[in-house]
Amino acid sequence: MTQMIVTVIISLVLSLISYKLKLLTRDGTIATFAVGSIVGIFSSPAWFILLIIFTTSGLVATKINFKMKIRDGLQEGKHGERTHRNVLGVGIPPCTIAVLAWLLNGQYDFEMGIAFISTMTVAAADTISSEIGVKDKRVWLITTFKRVEAGVNGGISVLGTVSSFAISILVGIIGWLLIFQTIDVYVIIPVIAGMVGNFMDSIFGATLEDSGYISKYTNNCSTALIGAAFSILIICFL
């Protein structure tokens, strides 16, 4: 009960601070509070802390080179603020894993922990590749490798790819240390899952999203879940 109350309060405070800083819209604030509360209630403090680290770093990344993003029309909203669709697109996967782990009542804790970290690495890789990658104007479409403009669905760049790999490693290691309180070779699984999910995001962006079959928020959600499923499958085969 204490954990539930504390996590709900922390989620509320951080959501309101983000709103005051114009990082979230009103509906984005409510969605952020809901995601934080669900993960905090249904999982362990370590999972909740990892979610906070990811959310904070993602919001900070939004403000990096913001003037350039405004100039090129690549920013979120007017001030880089995130709506409920942005939040739920990356928030539903960790919530799903947290609730599933709770329903399994302690079974497959190792697999669920890796799956949760993987949702974070996918989301972080996608966020950083988008927010940092816009600085690189040499962009290729992932399905044809033809040169395209920055910001085009499915576009990838060297800077974006390297940045996404670096953040996947960082989030993977931090998540592993928080959840498992150790480090071993298996940490490579959520790192790889992060990149797999990120590349799938680009592929879906160039095909399904660009054709109007799915939104970028559905893309974010589905690829994070794919990353989680990928990590579980790898564990099953090891």
Per-residue pLDDT at 63 exceeds 80: no
Is residue 165 a contact partner of residue 125, using CB atoms and an 8 Å limit?
Answer: yes
Per-residue pLDDT at 12 exceeds 90: yes
Closest CA to 39 of 108, 97, 85, 117: 97
Residues of the chain with pLDDT > 90, as a percent, come to 71
Is residue 216 a contact partner of residue 209, using CB atoms and an 8 Å limit?
Answer: yes
- Give the span between the Cα atoms of 32 and 154, in whole angstroms: 27
Per-residue pLDDT at 133 exceeds 90: no
- Give the span between the Cα atoms of 158 and 160, in whole angstroms: 5
Per-residue pLDDT at 4 exceeds 90: no
- Give the span between the Cα atoms of 129 and 65, in whole angstroms: 13
Report the domain count for the chain.
Answer: 1
Confidence of residue 236 (pLDDT cuts 50, 70, 90): confident
- Give the span between the Cα atoms of 91 and 11, in whole angstroms: 13
Across the range 51-78, mean pLDDT stands at 67
pLDDT, tens only, 161-170: 999 999 999 9
Containing structural domain, residue 23: 2-237
Residue with tokens 């370590």: 46
φ/ψ (deg, to 5) at 177: -65, -40
